[in-house]
Chain A
Amino acid sequence: MTEYLGLSMLLFTIGAAGVLVRRNAIVVFMCVELMLNAANLALVSFSRQHGELDGQLAAFFVMVVAAAEVVVGLAIIVSIYRTRRSTSVDDASLLKA
Chain B
Amino acid sequence: MTAFWVLAPFMVLAALGLVLARKAVHAALCLAVVMISLAVLYAAQGAPFLFAVQIVVYTGAIMMLFLFVLMLVGVETAESLTETIPGQRLGAVVVALVFGALGVVGVAQSVTGAVVGVEQANEGGNVEGLAALMFGPYVLAFEATAALLITAVLGAMVLAHRERLAARLTQREVAEGRLQDYARHGTHPGQLPTPGVFARHNAVDTPALLPDGSVADASVPAPLRARDQVRPGDRAEVDAVARELEPGTGEGRDR
A residues with a Cβ closer than 8 A to B are 1-18, 20-24, 26-27, 29-31, 33-34, 37, 40-41, 44-45, 47-54, 56-57, 59-61, 63-72, 74-79, 81-82, 86-88, 90
Beta-carbon contact of B159 and A68 below 8 Å: no
Q: How far is the CA of A13 from the CA of B45 in the complex (A)?
A: 22
Beta-carbon contact of A49 and B111 below 8 Å: yes
Beta-carbon contact of B38 and A40 below 8 Å: yes
Question: Is B240 in contact with chain A by the CB < 8 A criterion?
Answer: no
Q: How far is the CA of A1 from the CA of B156 in the complex (A)?
A: 39
Most chain A C-beta atoms within 10 Å of own C-beta, residue among B18, B41, B148: B18
Q: How far is the CA of A90 from the CA of B79 in the complex (A)?
A: 10
User: What is the total number of residues of chain B having a CB less than 8 Å from a CB of chain A?
Assistant: 79
Give 5 pairs: A residue, B residue, CB < 8 Å, sorted on A.
A3-B8, A6-B108, A20-B92, A47-B47, A68-B149
Beta-carbon contact of A61 and B145 below 8 Å: yes
Point out the residue from A2, A44, A66, A69 that lies within 8 Å of B47, measured CB to CB. Answer: A44
Can you list the 10 inter-chain pairs with the closest CB atoms, starting with the nearest? Answer: A51-B116, A13-B100, A17-B96, A68-B152, A20-B92, A75-B159, A18-B19, A9-B103, A75-B156, A14-B15
Question: Is B121 in contact with chain A by the CB < 8 A criterion?
Answer: yes
Q: How far is the CA of A60 from the CA of B190 in the complex (A)?
A: 55
Chain A residues lying within 8 Å of B134, measured Cβ to Cβ, are: 57, 60
Name which residue of chain B comes closest to A30, CB basis.
Answer: B31
Beta-carbon contact of A57 and B92 below 8 Å: no
Q: How far is the CA of A23 from the CA of B208 in the complex (A)?
A: 37
Question: Is B191 in contact with chain A by the CB < 8 A criterion?
Answer: no
B residues with a Cβ closer than 8 A to A are 4, 8, 11-12, 15-16, 18-19, 24, 27-28, 31, 34-35, 38, 41-42, 45-47, 49-50, 53-54, 57-58, 61-62, 65-66, 69-70, 72-74, 77, 79-80, 84, 88-89, 92-93, 95-96, 99-100, 103-104, 107-108, 110-111, 113, 115-118, 120-122, 126, 129-130, 133-134, 138, 141, 145, 148-149, 151-153, 155-156, 159-160, 162
Beta-carbon contact of B4 and A56 below 8 Å: no
Chain A residues lying within 8 Å of B84, measured Cβ to Cβ, are: 90
Contact A37-B35, Cβ < 8 Å, known A68-B149, A72-B156: yes
Beta-carbon contact of B149 and A20 below 8 Å: no
Point out the residue from B24, B89, B120, B160 that lies within 8 Å of A27, measured CB to CB. Answer: B24
Q: How far is the CA of A1 from the CA of B117 in the complex (A)?
A: 10
Please name 12 further chain A to chain B contacts, defined as beta carbons within 8 Å, in addition to the given A51-B118, A57-B138, sorted by A numbering: A4-B41, A11-B34, A16-B99, A27-B79, A31-B18, A44-B45, A49-B111, A60-B130, A64-B149, A66-B62, A79-B159, A87-B73
Beta-carbon contact of B130 and A72 below 8 Å: no
CB distance from A18 to the nearest CB of B (A): 4
Point out the residue from A14, A66, A87 that lies within 8 Å of B16, measured CB to CB. Answer: A14
Contact A75-B50, Cβ < 8 Å, known A21-B93, A34-B18, A48-B45: no
Beta-carbon contact of A16 and B96 below 8 Å: yes
Chain A residues lying within 8 Å of B34, measured Cβ to Cβ, are: 11, 34, 37
